[in-house]
Amino acid sequence: MKILLKNHIEVIVFLGLIISCKPQKTIEKADEKAQVINISVPKTFPALEFPEDNKPTPYRIELGKMLFNDPILSRDSSISCASCHQEKLHFTDGLSISIGIEGRLGIRNAPSLYNVAYQTSMFWDGGNPTLEQQVVAPIDAHFEMDYDINEVVKKLLAHPTYPDLFQKAYQQAPSNFALTRAIACYERTLISGVTKYDKFLLSQDSSMLSASEKNGLKLFFNEQGDCFHCHQGAFMTDFSFQNNGLYETYKDSGRARITQKNYDIGKFKVPSLRNIEHTAPYMHDGSLATLEEVLDHYNSGGKTHPNKSKIIRPLNLTETEKNDIISFLKTLSSEN
């Protein structure tokens, strides 16, 4: 009996030692805001892709949005990305030409950032291939923010809030790498779809469109209106660079600024027509104030220029037909 009792005591002591040697770690719940999330897109859109080193998390998107709206990115802290891309104006600024620090006039019209995640290149001239790389350009440009990105990072490092936010989003202190990726990550979430036209495509119910809208759609997609050659697909653009005969002589050489080729003078990226109703003025320089002026331009066949696209020719549309095309264009406006 004594032997059994002794054995029992030894076993209990042994088990106690094992238990007491186990590390007393508290299991922490994973931070959900650090987890990669899916960004939903309309059914008529292709799947949204993010770079491997910049997958979307709530922390990254929130940081990008803060930076996008913060004038700390400009040399005199007077303007932000949102100054030229205002949400209330469908991420444009409503101006013919954007204005930078100290009232400096830029060189081009600010395009909408809606669905920019699907762009194959950035800017009117396609000068940057990715959203991450394009972030640097407006910061550096003399007529925009006129700042050195390295100086921006120094400000962010000294900021009371940003270092912690960068750590949570990218597991590092503020840096060029994380700064450009955060803004790009946020910009990829600016999705605009679910239009009257999308609903029509999904349902194929022609009763959803008015007589004017249906005729406008027909004109848009046939040789009479001749819009579809460049404006096609989910985003109503083929992302090509075209000279549309806007001028006989171009002050802005367009795509030629990048390629240094004479045959690219006056060529600019074909813009998306989604939300076109709300993003006036139009063209790379905002020189056309209304959709009526845009239709008049294309109906006339444009100005003579050696690089003008062969697609641009007099259309001989009637006033009613031009108005019908405009009616159709308005079905491309997002409802949310």
- Dist CA 103 CA 57 (whole Å): 36
Q: What is the pLDDT of residues 151-162, one digit of tens each?
A: 999 999 999 999
- Dist CA 249 CA 266 (whole Å): 8
> Which sign does the torsion angle of CA 250, 233, 186, 276 carry?
positive
- Quick one: pLDDT at residue 12? 40
Q: Is the confidence at residue 334, as pLDDT, over 90?
A: yes
Q: ω into residue 281 within 30 of 0, thus cis?
A: yes
What average pLDDT does the chain have? 92
- Quick one: pLDDT at residue 155? 98
Q: Closest by alpha carbon to 84, among 48, 39, 123?
A: 123
Go through the domains of the chain in sequence order and give each one's CATH number. 33-187 (1.10.760.10), 196-332 (1.10.760.10)
Please report, as a single letter, which amino acid is at residue 65: K
The token pair that represents 314 in the structure block:
């007099």
- Residues 6 or more apart from 39 whose CB is under 8 A from it? 48, 56, 188, 189, 191
pLDDT band at 30 (very low <50, low <70, confident <90, very high): confident
> Which sign does the torsion angle of CA 45, 46, 48, 50 carry?
negative
| Cα radius of gyration (the chain) | 28
Q: What is the pLDDT of residues 82-116, one digit of tens each?
A: 999 999 999 999 999 999 999 999 999 999 999 99
By the 8 A CB rule, do 125 and 285 touch? no
Q: Is the confidence at residue 19, as pLDDT, over 80?
A: no
Exposed/middle/buried for residue 266 (C-beta within 10 Å: 0-12, 13-18, 19+): buried
- Quick one: pLDDT at residue 336? 73
Pick from 3-17, 60-74, 228-242: least confident: 3-17
More confident residue, 92 or 8: 92
By the 8 A CB rule, do 293 and 332 touch? no
Rounded to two decimals, the pTM is: 0.89
The token pair that represents 156 in the structure block:
């962010």
Q: What is the pLDDT of residues 222-275, one digit of tens each?
A: 999 999 999 999 999 999 999 999 999 999 999 999 999 999 999 999 999 999
Sort residue 301 into left (φ over 0), alpha (ψ -120 to 50) or beta. Answer: left
By the 8 A CB rule, do 280 and 93 touch? no
Q: What is the pLDDT of residues 175-191, one digit of tens each?
A: 999 999 999 999 999 99
Mean pLDDT, residues 277-306: 98
Sort residue 316 into left (φ over 0), alpha (ψ -120 to 50) or beta. Answer: left
CA distances from 226 to 103, 220, 222, 270, 282 (A): 40, 6, 6, 14, 19
pLDDT band at 28 (very low <50, low <70, confident <90, very high): low
